[in-house]
Amino acid sequence: MANPWAEFSQVALAHLLAVASPGPDFAIVVRQSLAHGRRTAIWTSLGIGTGILLHVGYSVLGLGLLIRSSPWWFNVVKTAGAAYIAWLGLVSLQAKPAANLDLGAEGGPRTPTTHGAFMTGFLTNILNPKVTLFFISLFVMIVDPRTPKLIQAGYGIWMSLATMAWFTLVSLVFTRADVRRRFLSHGHWIDRALGVVFLAFAVSLAVATLR
């Protein structure tokens, strides 16, 4: 068995680089921060971090390899992910100017419930096939199969908490009164721009599915 601490440091570094790179998770937290405020953005971040546990779970159990080795199942995952992210993009493109909005206030028009915000983050994460590929590759290339499952589960808990912490930090930055005020003065255009970003992610996933 590999040295658990050395292995953990490699896992943590790979995860740090992955979670900090722009993607659907980052885009949805920014959108929630600007459109609905801190509470919604943080609950979305918690949903994203919880989604990590699902990826780790099937990777530890070996189901990730089954998904990756079955073109049909992997295409189902990619298609579902592309459809959900495209839906987020279409919703964002329909954003309208907010009338009489207090730019420093918490929340916004049609602020999601706590459960709704959490599920938005959770679904955005678990339906992203690039995240699926990352965790399958991580547990195949870095984690020694002889490493006890309990330790592997510990890696997963760390990555989940680190993900929550990172996106909570993003939420705090983008919901600062001065930052949010600056963005929300043209908020509907930013929302629409993020919609284009989501659609671009969806198209890239759809193209990958057709290959």
141-171 pLDDT tens trace: 788 878 898 999 999 999 999 999 999 999 9
> Residue 142: inside a domain, yes or no?
yes
Does some domain include residue 104?
no
* Centroid of chain to Cα 153: 20
Tens digit of pLDDT for each residue in 5-38?
A: 888 998 998 898 888 877 889 989 998 998 888 9
- Indicate if the pLDDT at residue 197 is higher than 80: no
Would you say residue 107 lies in a domain?
Answer: no
Q: Is residue 102 part of a domain?
A: no
Count of H-run helices and E-run strands, the chain: 10, 0
Asked if the structure places residue 180 within a domain, the reply is yes
Tokens 């959108």 belong to which residue? 31
Q: Is residue 80 in some structural domain?
A: yes
Q: Please give the pLDDT value at position 97.
A: 60
Q: What does the mean pLDDT of the chain come to?
A: 80
Q: Does pTM top 0.85 for this prediction?
A: no
In a domain, 19, yes or no: no
- With respect to residue 8, please indicate whether it lies within any of the assigned structural domains: no
Tell me the C-alpha distance between 163 and 35, whole Å. Answer: 21
Query: Where does the pLDDT of residue 134 fall: very low under 50, low under 70, confident under 90, or very high at 90 and above?
Result: confident
pLDDT top residue among 127 and 48: 48
Whose tokens are 């916004």? That residue is 108
Range of the domain at 82: 29-96+116-210
Q: What's the residue count for the chain?
A: 211
Q: Residue 166's closest CA among 23, 5, 35, 56?
A: 23
Structural contact between residues 25 and 99, judged by C-beta atoms closer than 8 angstroms? no
Domain count across the chain: 1
CA atoms within 13 A on the CB side of 104: 2
